Amino acid sequence: MSEPVSRALLWLFVINLGVALGAGLYDSRIVVPRWIGAAQHWNAEAARQDDTGRRFWGLVTTVPLTLLTLANLIAAWRAPAPVRGWWLATAVAALADRVITFAYFIPTMVRLMRAPDSPSSAAVATQWARLNYVRLAILVAALLTALRAFSLSYQRPV
């Protein structure tokens, strides 16, 4: 893989991870509380009305971040040391985010959007929201390691 292509992939990865993290923080602080009321009720109508999964996340992370993660895994594997270690750590963290997103977060939200307000729906939604902080922590780690790889890539050729 040529140096300009590798560098472009890393640039796009850093930008997309930053957008995903910022949007995830916004969602968790502003949007999700509309869905899970203070009295621990699940408001599926508000979740369906916002529909952030299709209106935003699908366009920003579901497809682009997933493809960038896979491409960056390949580019990182071929990168010279010391960029390789940091870049691989970034790609592995992003891959972990993608796996848990597709395995748990997306299917759970799809089920919740169809669920009525009930104690069990509220419990699942509350667990989803709490586990989302773990996903955000993974994105923080991915972004920080990506920034380190990015800075190292300008010290040595990629």
Domain boundary assignment for the chain: 3-153
Residues in Cβ contact with 132 at an 8 Å cutoff, skipping those fewer than 6 apart: 24, 27, 28, 32, 105
Instruction: Give the span between the Cα atoms of 32 and 55, in whole angstroms.
Output: 15
pLDDT score, position 38: 75
**Side chain identity at residue 84, one-letter code:** R
pLDDT score, position 143: 98
82-103 pLDDT, tens digit per residue, is: 999 999 999 999 999 999 999 9
pLDDT band with cut points at 50, 70 and 90 for residue 1: confident
pLDDT of 156 over the 70 cut:
no
Residues in Cβ contact with 6 at an 8 Å cutoff, skipping those fewer than 6 apart: 75, 78, 79, 153, 158
pLDDT score, position 158: 55
pLDDT score, position 111: 96
